[in-house]
Amino acid sequence: MRTIAHFVDGKPYSGAGDRTAPVYDPATGAQQAQVLLASSADVDDVVASAVTAAAAWRNSSLAARQKVLFAARELIAARAPKIAEAITAEHGKVLSDAAGEVQRGLEVVEFACGIPHLLKGGFSEGVSTGVDVYSIRQPLGVVAVISPFNFPSMVPLWFVPVAIAAGNAVVLKPSEKDPTAAVLIAEAFADAGLPPGVLNVVHGDKEAVDRLLEHPDIKAVSFVGSTPIARYVYETGTRNGKRVQALGGAKNHMLVLPDADLDLAADAAVNAGFGSAGERCMAISALVAVDPIGDELVAKIKERIATLRTGDGRRGCDMGPLVTAAHRDKVASYVAAGAEAGADVVVDGRDVTPDADGEGFFLGPTLIDNVTPSMSVYTDEIFGPVLSVVRVPSYEAGLDLINSNPYGNGTAIFTNDGGAARRFQYEVEVGMVGVNVPIPVPMAYYSFGGWKASLFGDSHAHGAEGVHFFTRGKVVTSRWLDPSHGGLNLGFPQHT
């Protein structure tokens, strides 16, 4: 059995831990490798080498860091097909979708190439006689990035390029379910000239995460995953004095007003509901149809689902498998619970015949109509290819439903009424909003993040907030002596 090792100090590292986890090919159901799970002692070793690397990296010039980032950008772009293949093999999403996430991650590398501009401070000359004040932002030291299974390359790349560009060293702990993409990215940075130890990948589970959360040399933690773990990481990390941004789960609503272009809305609902088998934190899982368009919209979505091909992501299918058998079974149980609670299962993905060999973890696209807000298929984040339709009498009722939901990651309104769209973006309590755009993932130069139970902490990912998160501000007040000494004065400094 192939073993996937950690990547530390610019090379593979096995550590002393003896635990492993299986890595499956979700399209065939076969175990294809095992990944090492770091022990606490392994984490300590990795952090120690990152501390050494961080001290030297901090001294590198902005020009030197920028050069590495530009080179990494070229290498990741050249290796994107290989990274996408690894993602499809371990995660299951179709190849084109895997390539898409690498591209979105690459955009953050491109953003970080502008670090000399992004780190510019302010300068005020002559705030008092002979006194100047200026602000600078300095790196934190060693930071941890802990990422989920569903975007094995994009989520690490939301943080890693910005953290490195700002002068930090990084310990990246990817999901143990699909660990290879993180190693390929770290290799690309190493080949681009990043000094050993500045970007390390340590595989592991709760033991590794807990050690990172308590390690005194980890200064900040960027986490992305489910809400219960995000809350735990935020509370534990901050209790240990760390800066933490912890992005959690989601339940994203798409509100369709009666004046919307229903063909556009149906296309969008299918793309955003079933892309990556619904395993996206920005997937649409609740379609909120304002009366009287429910029947027509459901019919259009049903027609489109009939054209989708589910199967092995390497075979040009539209939708791949779920990540594990256990997850597939859990998602399928929500379909059963919805039917039992009285919702109408319009398309049942449990009946799918996938285009794949073996016993892959498949569930076909599923459409459930007449879902009510008390059903588990609505209340829970399902994270699978299940689109629930909730019917509401008015815009106000739809807005209330969205704002009453504990999550606030993404949402979208579909309408041709500019005034309604404008009102929605003003009133809705969600961090990322689309107007006739179902998956409004911000560009790298804006910041990604939700509200409420979808993000714990103050900073969103990448963009200006990312730069802010990975640096701390310092303000310097300097006085270069001129002959006008003021003499002794024990009063509070005032400006003259």
Q: Which is nearer to ligand NAD, 24 or 395 (CB)?
A: 24
**85 scored as a contact of ligand NAD (CB under 6 A):** no
- Smallest distance, Å, CB 449 to ligand NAD? 7
The smaller minimum CB distance to ligand NAD, of residues 179 and 294, is found at 179
Placement of tokens 């300097």 in the chain: 478
Supply the DSSP string of 112-153, one letter for each residue: HTTHHHHT---EEEEEETTEEEEEEEEE-SEEEEE--SS-TT
**CB of 151 or CB of 395, closer to ligand NAD:** 151
Kindly state whether residue 409 participates in binding ligand NAD, applying the rule CB under 6 A: yes
Site for ligand NAD in 294-323 (CB under 6 A): none
Q: Tell me the C-alpha to C-alpha distance, in Å, between residue 389 and each of 289, 295, 337, 367, 420.
A: 7, 10, 15, 8, 21
* Closest to ligand NAD by CB, 151 or 234: 151
Is position 388 an interface residue for ligand NAD (rule: CB under 6 A)? no
DSSP conformation letters of 424-468: HHHH---SEEEES-S--PPPTTS-B--EETTEESS--BSHHHHHH
> What's the min distance (Å) between Cβ of 146 and ligand NAD?
5
Round to whole Å and give the CA distance between 20 and 36.
5
Residues 171-190 interacting with ligand NAD (rule: CB under 6 A): 173, 175-176
Based on its alpha-carbon atoms, the radius of gyration of the chain, rounded to whole angstroms, reads 25
With CB under 6 A as the rule, give the number of residues binding ligand NAD: 27
Give the distance, in angstroms, between the CA of residue 253 and the centroid of all CA atoms in the same chain: 18
Q: How near is the Cβ of 281 to ligand NAD at its closest, in Å?
A: 3
CB of 241 to ligand NAD, least distance (A): 18
Contact indicator for 169, 201 with CB cutoff of 8 Å:
no
**For residue 288, which of 274, 273, 306 has the smallest C-alpha distance?**
273
Residues in the chain, overall count: 496
Determine if 38 is a binding residue for ligand NAD (CB under 6 A): no
Judged by CB, which is closer to ligand NAD: 309, or 330?
330
Shortest separation between residue 22's beta carbon and ligand NAD, angstroms: 14
Question: Are 224 and 247 spatial neighbours (Cβ–Cβ below 8 Å)?
Answer: yes
Asked if 18 and 194 touch (Cβ cutoff 8 Å), the reply is: no
Burial class (CB in 10 A: 0-12, 13-18, 19+), 330: middle
| Closest to 317 (Cα-Cα) out of 90, 97, 100, 94 | 94
Within residues 134-173, the interface with ligand NAD by CB under 6 A covers 146-151, 155, 173
Which DSSP symbol is given to 29?
Answer: T
Nearer to ligand NAD, 354 or 457 (CB): 457
Catalytic residue among 143, 281, 283, 444: 281
209 binds ligand NAD (CB under 6 A): yes
Of the candidate residues 192, 246, 247, 289, the single one contacting ligand NAD (CB under 6 A): 247
Q: Closest residue (Cβ) to ligand NAD? A: 225
Could you confirm whether 317 is annotated as catalytic?
A: no
Lay out the site mask for ligand NAD across 447-476 (x = CB under 6 A, - = otherwise): ---x---x----------------------
* Contacting ligand NAD within 324-383 (CB under 6 A): 381, 383
Among 11, 120, 206, 474, binds ligand NAD (CB under 6 A): 206
The minimum distance between CB 301 and ligand NAD, in angstroms, equals: 22
Q: Of 60-68, 224-232, 285-293, 334-342, which part binds ligand NAD (CB under 6 A)?
A: 224-232
**Residue showing tokens 């303000």:** 475
Q: How far is the CB of 475 from ligand NAD (least distance, A)?
A: 32
Minimum distance of ligand NAD from residue 77's CB (angstroms): 23
Which residue, 360 or 449, has its beta carbon nearer to ligand NAD? 449
The region of 88-96, 246-254, 297-305, 432-440 touching ligand NAD under the rule CB under 6 A is 246-254
The rounded distance, in Å, linking the Cα atoms of 73 and 161 is: 10
Q: Are 4 and 23 in contact (CB under 8 A)?
A: yes
| Residue 273 touches ligand NAD, criterion: CB under 6 A | no
Question: Order of strands, edge to edge, in the sheet holding 123-128?
Answer: 123-128, 131-139, 471-479
Amino acid at 342: G
Q: Do 63 and 234 form a contact (C-beta atoms < 8 A)?
A: no
Footprint of ligand NAD on this chain (CB under 6 A)? 146-151, 155, 173, 175-176, 205-206, 209, 224-226, 229, 247-250, 281, 381, 383, 409, 450, 454
Which residues are the active-site residues?
281
